[in-house]
Amino acid sequence: MDSDILSVARAIQQAERILIITGAGLSADSGLPTYRGLGGLYNGLTAEGLPIEVALSGPMLQRDPALCWRYLAQLGAACLGATPNAGHRAIAELQRLKPECWVLTQNIDGYHRQAGSPLERLIEIHGELAPLYCQSCGAEDAELAAHLQRPLPPLCARCGGVLRPPVVLFEEMLPEDAIGRLYEQVREGFEVVLAVGTTASFPYIVEPVLEARRNGGFTVEVNPQQTDISRRVDVRLSGRASDVLPELVGHISGH
């Protein structure tokens, strides 16, 4: 592993354009349950006998906002109850050292921003949990934590409409501006692409990795488990992101 870390550090040191793709495994080290392990929530049916993909969907938010919010509230409480870890901070430090280092994240916890990743090089492809906004009048509401202490769903103080977070629920489209920014950057090309803590099951996660390989770039996976892309990367660093990334960035200087 040490020689692998050194070879990855060397590739990053020599590169200008770098993309770091992050998934739930990165935030798991903050104590957040991974997507498929949210208190067992994703491992079967909800208390109502529904697959979580139905309970946490756009149509359910319209049809039965209280039911959808029961699970949004669990996500919200988990995210508010934890903080960025050494992995998030190492990524922010790498972005400081490398002005052309971008982050594409599937996570909605906002930890990259909290750790210091610059917004102009951060693509939150699944949105974020705050601020809430009213589906009826569009008013913003920054009181996510307060609403989680009250009866659900949260309602707009201005018009009484149902509030929602700016996240992508199941059966909803990805945000066009985020997708546009991603593909604009992928077209420019990346010399190094790291996939960190993601099962890489979405095309927009896999594609930048494959595109970099096609164009002679260097691809890396950081994950304790094997995933869909484990056999398609140049180097696989098996371990927790909060251990591997600080060690990796420790080998990279600002020159």
CB-based contact 79:114 (threshold 8 Å): no
The CA-atom distances, in angstroms, between 54 and each of 36, 125, 174, 179, 183 are 15, 20, 17, 24, 29
What the block records as the tokens of 208 is 């930048």
Burial class (CB in 10 A: 0-12, 13-18, 19+), 231: exposed
How many whole angstroms from its chain centre is CA 234?
23
Rounded to 5°, angle at Cα 193 from 190 and 116: 95
Nearest to 135 by CA among 164, 171, 175: 164
Nearest to 19 by CA among 87, 89, 97, 100: 100
**H or E element, residue 250:** helix 241-250
Q: Which of the residues are catalytic?
A: 126
CB-based contact 89:30 (threshold 8 Å): no
What the block records as the tokens of 85 is 């870890």
